[in-house]
Amino acid sequence: MWWPAALIGAVIGITGWARARAAVSDLSALSEAAVDLHARTLATALGISVDATGPITIAEGERITALVRKGR
């Protein structure tokens, strides 16, 4: 009988999908926090930052993206 194996496979697949979604959610939250904490330092290191305090501006973020984007 093949149906018990199909049922077990479906349960494992759904569990893996749910755990992967949770892991991706956690990773995106951690990545966003890292950018929030270190964006000013990165901008300064790349020579973009004019203001030494506060969050980066949209223009500064776009300049950082232009410098570090792959396949420019």
Q: Which positions ≥6 away from 55 have C-beta within 8 Å?
A: 36, 39, 40
Residue with tokens 């901008």: 43
- pLDDT value for 12: 98
Domain that holds residue 34: 3-68
Q: What are 2-40's pLDDT values in tens digits?
A: 889 999 999 999 999 999 999 999 999 999 999 889 998
The amino acid sitting at 66 is A
Residue with tokens 């984007």: 69
Tell me, yes or no, if the pTM score tops 0.75: no
The yes-or-no verdict on residue 62 having pLDDT over 80 is yes
Tell me the C-alpha distance between 31 and 47, whole Å: 22
User: In which band, very low, low, confident or very high, does the pLDDT at 72 lie, cut at 50, 70 and 90?
Assistant: low
Number of domains in the chain: 1
